[in-house]
Amino acid sequence: MKNIRTPNIDDVSRLAEIHIYGWRDAYRNIMSDELLFKQRQVMKTIKLHTRFINDIFHRVIVYDDGIIRGFAIHNDPRDSNTDGQYEISALYVEPAFQRMGIGTKLLAAIELYAKKHAISSTYVWVLDGNKKGISFYKKCGYVFDGAEKVVSIEDELREIKMVKAM
């Protein structure tokens, strides 16, 4: 797919930057400032993305048209009861470049991968309250399947599972 590629180690700082800004943009008013600004820091996020790029269990792709504008991480399911499903564990687009089709192209690349590997459906966990994220996935054909999980008891955060048949 045009402009979709696998990142290399030189891209890690840009991925961390997109991740942090995307995280703060998506979860502002949902998560505490403690989680958004103290716990999510550049050096920790650079280490995380370095690990993902070097990890055979995670597949990382970027949208790069001369500038890396977004990225996605996809992998075999980390959850039980997901036979035939494939997980999208992260999808972030730099807030300045959202609503330009970049997220849709990243998602399409993952879905193409899933189809080529005879995977029956893809799924993503979306933070409940992330209206922009839920709306994006709905627009792309994902539906809430009824599954939920608590991700932080003290902050009362939970995620909902959205699924799309391939």
Closest CA to 136 of 41, 22, 44: 22
Per-residue pLDDT reduced to its tens digit, 9-64: 899 889 989 988 888 898 888 888 777 776 666 667 777 767 777 776 679 999 99
pTM: 0.88
Q: CB of 77 within 8 A of CB of 161?
A: no
Helix (H, G, I), strand (E, B) or coil at 15: helix
> Domain-by-domain residue ranges, the chain?
4-165
Give the angle subtended at the CA of 136 by the CAs of 150 and 123, to the nearest 5°. Answer: 50
Q: CB of 45 within 8 A of CB of 12?
A: no
Residue type, 5: R
Per-residue pLDDT reduced to its tens digit, 51-101: 777 776 679 999 999 999 999 999 888 877 777 889 999 999 999 999 999
Q: CB of 80 within 8 A of CB of 147?
A: no
Residue 108 φ then ψ, to 5°:
-60, -40
Angstrom distance (rounded) from CA 28 to CA 7: 28
CATH architecture of 4-165: 3-Layer(aba) Sandwich (3.40)
